[in-house]
Amino acid sequence: MTKTADVVVIGSGIGGLSCAALLARYGLEVVVCESHTLPGGAAHGFEYQGFWFDSGPSLYSGLSYSPSPNPLRQVLDALDVDVDWLTYDTWGCWLPEGNFETAVGADQFCQVLQKLRGDRAVNQWRSLQEFMAPYSAAAVALSPAAVRYDWGALLTVGRSMPSLLQHSLNSLKLTGAFAPLMDQVVSDPFLRNWLNLLCFLLSGLPASGTSAAEMAFMFADWYRPEVRLDYPRGGSAALVEALVRGLERYGGKLRLGAHVEQILVEGDRAVGVRLRRGETVRARRAVVSNASGWDTLKLLPTGAVSQKYTAQKRATPECNSFMHLHLGIDGSGLAADLPCHHIAVNDWAKGVEAPQNVVLISMPSLLDPDLAPPGKQVIHAYTPGNEPYALWQGLERSSFAYEQQKQARSEVMWQALEQIIPDIRDRCEVTLVGTPLTHERFLRRHRGTYGPAIRAGSKLFPGGKTPLAGLLCCGDSIFPGIGLPAVAASGMLAANSLVSVSDHLALLQQIGL
């Protein structure tokens, strides 16, 4: 059986859905082929015994207001879809220096710094904020929504040229790592550790490897006046559902359980995909892969791209994977003012990248009680991109050794949770443990990785164009990199590059850019 569309998108992660929905909004016939039975990729949500869990991202910002510099917000605006955003500003920290609650925004963190480190640290933090202000302005001067992979970018980016010229000197420094900027202002050990932690949460790398542009964007978003953090009512599944709704509103189609076996190539051009059950979906204009760079290579026939390109992709360094605890618990007697998000660091000396040294904890049902049955709470604890795949490689998922490994490697998350809820183990009614093999299997992720570990200043994230005509890529293997805003931006770039400049300009006008 053969079907045809203008564009076939492989994978329904946030990048793929952003690309596909925008292409449908532009008027193209789009089909998204998703291997899983649920859309959303690493950002999907799932229900188990009455509890709704987020599989991946739990921290959102820049989405509850518009216009916003967040590319994902711009995608939602372009599609005229949204979710109900719940807002908060406080999160709990469990660090070697002690336990405290902090808030986004400039002032409250200074109060924490004053208690922990005194006037010198406070002055350095204030100085850093002032120092980063022009870089933050430069980081938001050009929206990714205006960029495309052809000469038409001269017209779509041209409208931002006065602002870009104004910030040109600072913009050049944003292409490197954040560490050189940090080094000019910050010497306090705690502040340096804190900034390395923020970098790691953004990119999977410390300040020496994280793009200065990413941190500049974070300063622009997290430390603006009256800032709040966001959470989608209904969890990450609601955000994914909004993008699917936008896709289908404009005639796009999402096919679940449609595993792509191979990208079809004819005459040095990608012309469609072949699904596992033998069905073919041909693409009149292009195939867009939302799979990782490593996994996209696996879909290409031998010889479809050069050996040099293949070797470069295979040699891309990778971030580590994840451990997850998804818990449904009895919520009776918990403190009424318990923050919904927490972060725990065991030992700064090991470095934020060290295996199991950082644990993130999300209790979204404190914001949205409908995520759990009455009187219950839902918890998602995870080690963010610091679990080595090598510890799991070759284990059979049904084996006793695998179960033992799950128990041993999840213990660090239980211990972090016990700092917050001492009797957490007794409260559990649902316990699900996810591993790198879970990531590899359900998310079709190469070695369960978080994404490419491309260090800023050494090599740029590749763009979405490939040497194979008719094949574009989006997602976390593509510029701007890892994270929800970045993958949404990559989807926008791919979509914009497949339509006319006039259509692109019209969309920019609609979303106020």
pLDDT digits (tens, 9 = 90+) for 186-196: 999 999 999 99
Q: Which pLDDT score is estimated for 162?
A: 65
In this structure, the answer to whether residues 437 and 490 fall within a common structural domain is no
SS3 264: strand
Q: What is the pLDDT of residues 381-419, one digit of tens each?
A: 999 999 999 999 999 999 999 999 999 999 999 999 999
**425, 448, 471 - which closes a domain:** 448
Report the number of secondary-structure helices (H) and strands (E) in the chain. Answer: 18, 19
Q: Which pLDDT score is estimated for 147?
A: 87
**DSSP string covering 86-101, please?**
EEE-EEEEEETTEEEE
Q: What's the start-to-end Cα distance of the chain, in Å?
A: 43
Q: What is the pLDDT of residues 195-243, one digit of tens each?
A: 999 999 888 889 999 988 888 888 888 777 778 899 999 999 999 999 9
Q: Indicate the average pLDDT of the chain.
A: 92
**410, 427, 448 - which closes a domain:** 448
Helices (H), 384-483: 400-420, 424-427, 436-442
Cα(387)–Cα(404) distance, integer angstroms: 16
Cα(47)–Cα(432) distance, integer angstroms: 12
Task: Read off the pLDDT of each residue in 35-59 and give the average, rounded to a whole number.
Answer: 93
422 band by pLDDT with thresholds 50, 70 and 90: very high
In this structure, the answer to whether residues 365 and 433 fall within a common structural domain is yes
Q: Which pLDDT score is estimated for 57?
A: 82
In this structure, the answer to whether residues 415 and 359 fall within a common structural domain is yes
Q: What is the CATH number for 248?
A: 3.50.50.60
- Report whether 196 contacts 350 (CB < 8 A): no
Q: Which pLDDT score is estimated for 167?
A: 61
Structural domains in the chain (count): 2
Is residue 506 domain-resident?
Answer: yes
Quick check: 322 pLDDT over 90?
A: yes
Q: Which pLDDT score is estimated for 480?
A: 85
Token representation of residue 85: 């955003």
Quick check: 460 pLDDT over 90?
A: no
In this structure, the answer to whether residues 355 and 304 fall within a common structural domain is no
Q: Which pLDDT score is estimated for 108?
A: 80
- Report whether 210 contacts 199 (CB < 8 A): yes
Cα(358)–Cα(362) distance, integer angstroms: 14
Helices (H), 117-211: 119-139, 153-156, 161-166, 168-173, 179-185, 189-203
Minimum mean pLDDT range among 67-76, 134-143, 192-201, 331-340: 134-143
Beta bridge partners, 292, equal none
Q: Which pLDDT score is estimated for 268?
A: 92
Is residue 178 domain-resident?
Answer: no
Domain membership of residue 434 as a residue range: 321-448
Q: Which residues of 246-274 are buried (b: 16+ CB within 10 A; e: fewer)?
A: bbeebebbbbeebebebbbbeeeebbbbb
138 φ, ψ (degrees, to nearest 5): -65, -35
Is residue 465 domain-resident?
Answer: yes
Is residue 428 domain-resident?
Answer: yes
**432, 448, 464 - which closes a domain:** 448
Q: What is the pTM of this model?
A: 0.94
| Side chain identity at residue 21, one-letter code | A
Residues 6+ apart with CB under 8 A from 436: 321, 322, 323, 387, 388, 389, 391, 392, 447, 448
Cα(373)–Cα(363) distance, integer angstroms: 14
Task: Read off the pLDDT of each residue in 178-182 and give the average, rounded to a whole number.
Answer: 93
Cα(207)–Cα(218) distance, integer angstroms: 13
Token representation of residue 371: 């995520």
| Side chain identity at residue 501, one-letter code | V
Is residue 481 domain-resident?
Answer: yes
In this structure, the answer to whether residues 350 and 406 fall within a common structural domain is yes
In this structure, the answer to whether residues 417 and 432 fall within a common structural domain is yes
More confident: 138 or 315: 315
Is residue 140 domain-resident?
Answer: no
Q: What is the pLDDT of residues 95-109, one digit of tens each?
A: 999 999 988 876 788
In this structure, the answer to whether residues 326 and 422 fall within a common structural domain is yes
Q: Which pLDDT score is estimated for 227?
A: 83
Beta bridge partners, 100, equal 93
Quick check: 184 pLDDT over 80?
A: yes
Is residue 391 domain-resident?
Answer: yes
In this structure, the answer to whether residues 354 and 433 fall within a common structural domain is yes
In this structure, the answer to whether residues 430 and 484 fall within a common structural domain is no
In this structure, the answer to whether residues 424 and 362 fall within a common structural domain is yes
Is residue 33 domain-resident?
Answer: yes
166 band by pLDDT with thresholds 50, 70 and 90: low
Tell me what percent of the residues of the chain surpass a pLDDT of 70. 96
Minimum mean pLDDT range among 20-29, 53-62, 280-289: 53-62
- Report whether 363 contacts 51 (CB < 8 A): no
Q: What is the pLDDT of residues 461-511, one digit of tens each?
A: 788 999 999 999 999 999 888 889 999 999 999 999 999 999 999 988 888
Cα(273)–Cα(360) distance, integer angstroms: 38
Quick check: 459 pLDDT over 70?
A: no
In this structure, the answer to whether residues 357 and 438 fall within a common structural domain is yes
| Side chain identity at residue 1, one-letter code | M
Token representation of residue 246: 């936008």
72 band by pLDDT with thresholds 50, 70 and 90: very high
In this structure, the answer to whether residues 405 and 456 fall within a common structural domain is no
| Side chain identity at residue 388, one-letter code | P
